[in-house]
Amino acid sequence: MALLEVKDLKVRVEEREILHGLNLTVNEGEIHAIMGPNGSGKSTLSHVIAGKPGYEVTDGQILFRGEDLLEMSPDMRAAKGVFLAFQYPVEIPGVATMNFLRTALNAQRKARGESEYSTPDFLKKVREVSKSLNIPQDMLKRGVNVGFSGGEKKRNEVLQMALFEPSLCILDEMDSGLDIDALRIAADGVNALHSPKRAMVVITHYQRLLNYIVPDIVHVMSKGRVVKSGGKELALELEASGYAQFEDAA
């Protein structure tokens, strides 16, 4: 069974159709890249999978391990293993990162019927994980993303990914706002988390990110549809000739 199956998905935002029948299948362990120009519907797709309010699904299906994802609340989707790394992670003043991580992790565990972590067990786990990703403990004491640099925010996303152990990670334009060094650090984190059980969907505008995260399959989106899929060489082709050739295909 596929991990994620998007079938003929049609989505509207305020009366305007953004996705016009999109199909996508992701299996365990695969790395997919979704590329496309601005406005092609890449971020909409990631938001709809995660369950962000404000989108109306008018047709089609999203199955996660065969279950109807659209029937689940967004927090339940998270508990089932859907993780969205945000393009612009939000700041939550007054809420220490450590606190946030623990609240979220225990909420997910509880939703799955698992026991919640005790404070010492949680601290042990978070130390282990942050150490493996070279994330300083100091960062965990600060308010969630408050005063973080662009790079720190993305590392915080990677940390959460490592801690929550989702089976599907969607990375929405994680390269935006990052310099080359920060990009490399974040990408290293993502690569470290890739496993035969965990699939990654990397959404990006530029080929540059794919130098660091090498995809198995590349999809090109245009005007709300996947118009071409291929191997990693497709990304290079795009880099050379641009998106214009696909405008007509849509």
Partner 1 sequence: MPAVQETVDRVKRIDVDQYRYGFETLIESDKAPKGLSEETVKFISEKKNEPAWMLQWRLEAYRRWLTMTEPTWARVDYPKIDFQDLYYYSAPKPKKTITSLDEIDPEILKTYEKLGIPLREVAMLEGVEPKPGEEDPNRRKIAVDAVFDSVSVATTFKAELKKAGVIFMPISEAIREHPELVQKYLGSVVPTSDNFYATLNSAVFSDGSFVYVPPGVRCPMELSTYFRINERNTGQFERTLIIADKGAYVSYLEGCTAPQRDENQLHAAVVELVAHDDAEIKYSTVQNWYPGNSEGKGGIYNFVTKRGDCRGDRSKISWTQVETGSAITWKYPSCILRGDNSSGEFYSIAISNGFQQVDSGTKMIHLGKNTSSRIISKGIAAGKSQNTYRGLVTAHRKATGARNFTACDSLLIGDKCGAHTVPYIEAKNSSATFEHEATTSKISEDVLFYCIQRGLSQEEAVGLVVNGFVKDVLQQLPMEFAVEAQKLISISLEGSVG
Least Å from the CB of residue 123 to partner 1: 14
Point out which residues bind partner 1 (CB under 8 A).
Answer: 50-54, 73-75, 78-79, 83-84, 86, 89-95, 99-100, 102-108, 110-111, 116, 143, 160, 164
Beta carbon nearer to partner 1, 53 or 196 = 53
Beta carbon nearer to partner 1, 146 or 250 = 146
Q: What is each CA distance from 104 to 26, 164, 183, 220, 247, in whole angstroms?
A: 26, 9, 26, 34, 41
- Which of 30, 3, 27, 23 lies closest to 202, judged by CA? 30
Beta carbon nearer to partner 1, 199 or 227 = 199
- Which of 148, 153, 145 lies closest to 185, judged by CA? 153
Rounded to whole angstroms, the Cα distance separating 45 from 79 reads 19
Q: Within a 10 A sphere around the Cβ of 30, how many other Cβ atoms?
A: 19
Structure tokens at 168: 């599907």
Beta carbon nearer to partner 1, 51 or 224 = 51
